[in-house]
Amino acid sequence: MPHFLPAALAILTLSPQQAPEAWQQDVSYRMEARLDEDVQTLTGRARVAYTNESPDTLRDFYLHLYLNAFRPNSAWARADLEHGIRTFQDLAPADQGFERLERVTVDGEAVRVSWPYAPDSTVVRLTLPEPLPPGAGIVLDYDWKARPSTVARRQGRRGRHYDFAQWYPRVAVYDLERWRDHPLYRQGEFYSEFATYDVTLDVAADQVIGATGVPVEGDPGWASAAAPGTGTVDLQRDWYGATEGPPCVERDGVRTCGIPAQRDLAPARPLGLLDGGAAAGRKRVRWHAENVHHFAWSTSPDYIYEQGSWNGTAIHVLYQPGDREEWGDGKAVRRTETALQWLSVVFGPYPYPQVTNVHRIEGGGTEFPMMVMNGGASQSLILHEVGHIYTFGILANNEWYEGWLDEGFTSFQTAWFFEERGAGRSQWLGNESRVLDLELRGKAEPVTLQAERYSEMGIYSAMIYTKGALIFWMLREMAGPEKMMEITRTFFERYEFRHVDQHAFQSVAEEVLRRDLDWFFGEWLHTNGVVDYGLDGVDVRRERDAWVTRVDVARRGEMRMPVPIRLTGEGMVHDTVVPGDRLHAEHVIRTPFRPTGVRLDPGLVTMDWNALDNAWPAGPLSGSVYARGLDDPLGSVPAYRDRAALRFFPLAWFNDAGGIVGGVQARTAYMGDIRRALVRVGAPGIEAAGVGGASSAVDPGSLYFLLENPILFDRPRFGMSIEGFAGEGRGLFRLVGERDVSAMPLSAPRRFARVSLTVAGVYGGEYVVPGRWTPASHGEVEGELGFRQEGGPWSVDVGLGAGLSTDDRVYARSTMTGELRASARDGWSAALRLFAGATVARHGDAQSAAGAPRERQMFLSGGDPLVALSDPWMRSAGALWDEEGWVSGGGQILGYHPGLSLPKLVTLTAEAEGAPMRLGLGLQAWPHVFAGVGVGSSPEPTDAPPILSPSVADELDGWRHPYASAGVGVEVGEGRSPVRLRFDVPFFVADPRVATRGRDGRVRFRWTVRISGYR
């Protein structure tokens, strides 16, 4: 593939737009802090020197106290409530985090403080005693007490292990958008001023510390915690220069104290909190860091230390006892080295003295300058988090507004690393399908939405991480890998230690590629939609000594991308790229060979969602649209990106009326879920000994089809299905439209509103399993409105329908199914299910006790027979499982005859599933115990199912005849396969006269069978 940026898109010649002059405030922190483990509290004192480099006069000032997020009524805890998360709102006082500002002065004067987001206290506003003009400085002094929460979230504490992040009152950013005061939320991270940090920590003598910066004085505990063979620990004491120099500097007439001179480190200026030496059993460690926007640290007396070094950068790894397998023996060290090596290629030399990689309390990982706190030591996590030291740490974006610029960027470089090492394209396609699914379902939100405004965490992460990475990937595919490296390296070189935004990155990309990219970043960052180009026509002609191909390209999606086109023929390939702005465009392509194939976006690099309209020729036999093959009946239809899978499988079945039937089944799907279809065709039956011949009319064969999520009007219609059946004496057509009305598109519970139209009829009663259908020839049409909630601990499905039958019936029908589920720790789970259904009907002029046609009544043992029409092994009398086959729905009192339908029915069933047992050959078995009770009304004797002998029918007369059954079952499945076979033994039924197989005793061997997961 040529890397493409077509000339047509380069109309706008390059003139990098000049942003207003950006500034960065000059900040330095001198901090003293003492961790008292007996009261689990850190006491701190800080002196912050702040120079206003902006052109504005500042009248107030903001600090972030982010540990206050991890307590009730914080903005975070309250936002969580909207998502049903109560973690921090319900946290007990002893477990909460806090950060209490105890004293604050500006240039020695007390100031007024206010809490603009109260009851949230993660932001405090100070009213400056005097306005701070451009170029002038102030010194803030403050004391505070702080404690992380026991529920870890990018900070935390457990026993003597403390992950200190966001642990000190931190100066908010003042930039072009003025004060960036922002409460902390679950969605979104941080934005801070670059600063110099000089921090003295007073801790128990046995604590081992990892931190941002270099330990310039005191012992962090590494040597004594070192794993065997570590060698001499490199503390890098001299990195920031000797500890001498003036304690105060004077600039522009402003005297500012506490800022160490650049390469001449001053002695730690005492703030009065840690006077004298360390107490007995305590120690002090002084850390120094420059050009960082946060100082994080983690401490535990149990840490084990390993060190490494790459190109002059020290690597400090601190892991926990028991981690040796995953972290130890140099594993985490080497992976951190690998990350530094790769990142120095992608961006440039690592500018800090060290990188510290600690095993934090929480899983996952969080980035800090010079430091990552990780829950594991995988190469991908280390690449991601150490990558953040570049994108977020050194190239410091505002993570509330432009998370794509650090999360998307680091996800991109991580995937790029693995791609270069053989992972191939699959990871991009996986990311793509996650994003496309949200876009096609209309659930995507813009990448530049303010983080906490995403409707849920899953969408935030899909847009920021996944789509963010894909944006960089598409840029790389357009630019080519060499130019992409030039972009990333130039971006780093120009913006090292700067705040960055879209403009900064885009202007570098435009400069390197010498193209305007407003269209690209504009649409991918700020809007939603899909790319879809399709071939409307191809015409190949010979003109003199060349072949001329006219390619009609239609734009069917909202997004515009350059369109790569590939012509193939005579063993040759011609690649070109055309602009994709117009809705329809004809492109003329000359080739020395005769093209026999044309494909748009052959490399799948533009996120063109529908590749089914990208190929010419496109017939079902060409192979360019359908990947045909033999089906694996136990597996799902494969999910290809460039073609739809089409799978065939031979079938055979039999029944009493039709004899032995040969057939074929076809399944197809695109990208797993789109335009999914199942077709089963049966030939005319063959009469054979024992089966067939009962029919007076020869059935000409049968056809069943189910089409789900079809592509209509250029989009898949998720939730739409069309189902049809003709043959074996019956016909069915059903149209269902279901709309996802969930409050949160990705999280449980999911809610769906449903409307459906069903047309069904019987024309050959000899195929019908006794009792399941009203046997005389008739037809019916029924409409239904429904609602379904699934996921979460309970689910419900209600439906209300009305129908007309050609046997002069008008009926109404309603059903309700509710389910409660619970799972235990040892793998057992239990479910309680309530079903209620009723039909009422008028038959001619009279109210009919029989209700709706029999097939629309309530079935005691399982779902209605319309559902069973899809299954040739159970739909007709004399089929393999005509009495034992079980379909979902209905009363679910297993063990009763599947032909027992009642106008009104209420059942309550309970089921427990055990932990899976391994059977060998990859098979697993899940044991089940079930029981159910129900009451039902009996039908009118004239319409009673034939399994009810007249005497039994008489006895059941009237409402409230009781039913009950109990039994055990086992479900068997193969590990990879979604398909499971379930075999149930309802050994007890309360009224065996209407049981399936064996009506001569309440307790005896009966069985039912079902197949689930087959799609």
Q: Using CB under 5 A, list all residues that contact Zn ion.
A: 407
Least Cβ distance, residue 300 to Zn ion (angstroms)? 23
| Cβ contact 705:688 at 8 Å | no
Give whichever of 407 and 516 is closer to Zn ion, judged by the CB atom. Answer: 407
- Tell me the C-alpha distance between 60 and 126, whole Å: 6
Least Cβ distance, residue 374 to Zn ion (angstroms)? 11
Give whichever of 197 and 409 is closer to Zn ion, judged by the CB atom. Answer: 409
Residue 473, token pair as written in the block: 């990937």
Reported as type and span, the H/E element at residue 132 is: strand 123-132
Give the number of C-alpha atoms closer than 13 A to the C-alpha of residue 1011, restricted to the C-beta side: 16
Least Cβ distance, residue 200 to Zn ion (angstroms)? 30
Query: Which residues pair with residue 365 across a beta bridge?
Result: 374
Give whichever of 258 and 468 is closer to Zn ion, judged by the CB atom. Answer: 468
Residue 876: strand, helix, or coil: coil
State the SS3 of 740-761.
ECCCCCCCCCEEEEEEEEEEEE
Give whichever of 287 and 412 is closer to Zn ion, judged by the CB atom. Answer: 412
Sheet hosting strand 156-158, strand order edge to edge: 156-158, 161-164, 297-300, 208-211
Give Cβ neighbours of residue 555 (< 8 Å, ≥ 6 apart). 532, 533, 580, 581, 582, 583, 584
Give whichever of 407 and 439 is closer to Zn ion, judged by the CB atom. Answer: 407
Least Cβ distance, residue 410 to Zn ion (angstroms)? 6
Give whichever of 406 and 782 is closer to Zn ion, judged by the CB atom. Answer: 406
Give whichever of 352 and 404 is closer to Zn ion, judged by the CB atom. Answer: 404
Give whichever of 407 and 882 is closer to Zn ion, judged by the CB atom. Answer: 407
Give whichever of 365 and 534 is closer to Zn ion, judged by the CB atom. Answer: 365
DSSP-derived letter for residue 392 is T
Give whichever of 370 and 612 is closer to Zn ion, judged by the CB atom. Answer: 370
Least Cβ distance, residue 628 to Zn ion (angstroms)? 42
State the SS3 of 750-800.
EEEEEEEEEEEEECCHHHCCCCCCCCCCEEEEEEEEEEEEECCCEEEEEEE
Quickly count: other Cβ atoms within 10 Å of residue 365's Cβ. Answer: 22
Least Cβ distance, residue 464 to Zn ion (angstroms)? 9
Least Cβ distance, residue 335 to Zn ion (angstroms)? 16
Give whichever of 295 and 390 is closer to Zn ion, judged by the CB atom. Answer: 390
Residue 200, token pair as written in the block: 């003295």
Residue 1008, token pair as written in the block: 């039912």
Least Cβ distance, residue 417 to Zn ion (angstroms)? 15
| Cβ contact 164:371 at 8 Å | no
- Tell me the C-alpha distance between 565 and 553, whole Å: 10
DSSP-derived letter for residue 939 is P
Give whichever of 407 and 871 is closer to Zn ion, judged by the CB atom. Answer: 407
Exposed e or buried b per residue across 720-744, where buried means at least 16 C-beta atoms within 10 angstroms of its C-beta: bbebbbbbbbbbbebebebeeebeb
Residue 280: strand, helix, or coil: coil
> How far is Cα of residue 609 from the mean position of the Cα atoms in its chain?
19
Range list of β-strands (E), 846-936:
846-848, 858-859, 901-902, 904-913, 917-920, 923-936
Give whichever of 407 and 601 is closer to Zn ion, judged by the CB atom. Answer: 407
What residue type is assigned to position 306 of the chain?
A: E
Give the number of C-alpha atoms closer than 13 A to the C-alpha of residue 833, restricted to the C-beta side: 21
Least Cβ distance, residue 413 to Zn ion (angstroms)? 11
Least Cβ distance, residue 722 to Zn ion (angstroms)? 43
Give whichever of 383 and 867 is closer to Zn ion, judged by the CB atom. Answer: 383
Residue 675, token pair as written in the block: 């335009």
Give whichever of 407 and 971 is closer to Zn ion, judged by the CB atom. Answer: 407
Q: How do beta strands 371-374 and 354-359 pair?
A: parallel
Least Cβ distance, residue 292 to Zn ion (angstroms)? 17
- Tell me the C-alpha distance between 375 and 298, whole Å: 13
Give whichever of 347 and 547 is closer to Zn ion, judged by the CB atom. Answer: 347
Range list of β-strands (E), 450-571:
498-500, 533-543, 546-555, 563-569
Least Cβ distance, residue 407 to Zn ion (angstroms)? 5
| Cβ contact 345:310 at 8 Å | no
Least Cβ distance, residue 564 to Zn ion (angstroms)? 31
Give Cβ neighbours of residue 466 (< 8 Å, ≥ 6 apart). 411, 431, 434, 435
Least Cβ distance, residue 403 to Zn ion (angstroms)? 9
Quickly count: other Cβ atoms within 10 Å of residue 767's Cβ. Answer: 26
Residue 495: strand, helix, or coil: helix
Give whichever of 407 and 782 is closer to Zn ion, judged by the CB atom. Answer: 407
Q: How far is CA 635 from CA 160, 254, 426, 630, 867, in A?
A: 50, 74, 20, 12, 21
- Tell me the C-alpha distance between 487 and 495, whole Å: 12
Least Cβ distance, residue 502 to Zn ion (angstroms)? 18
Least Cβ distance, residue 585 to Zn ion (angstroms)? 40
The label of the residue with tokens 């038959």 reads 843
Phi, psi for residue 410 in degrees, rounded to 5: -75, -30
DSSP assignment string, 985-1009: EEEEES-GGGBSS--S-SBS---EE
Give whichever of 213 and 393 is closer to Zn ion, judged by the CB atom. Answer: 393
Least Cβ distance, residue 404 to Zn ion (angstroms)? 11
Reported as type and span, the H/E element at residue 521 is: helix 518-526
| Cβ contact 722:735 at 8 Å | yes
- Tell me which residue has its CB nearest to Zn ion: 407
Least Cβ distance, residue 401 to Zn ion (angstroms)? 16
DSSP-derived letter for residue 226 is B
| Cβ contact 352:293 at 8 Å | no
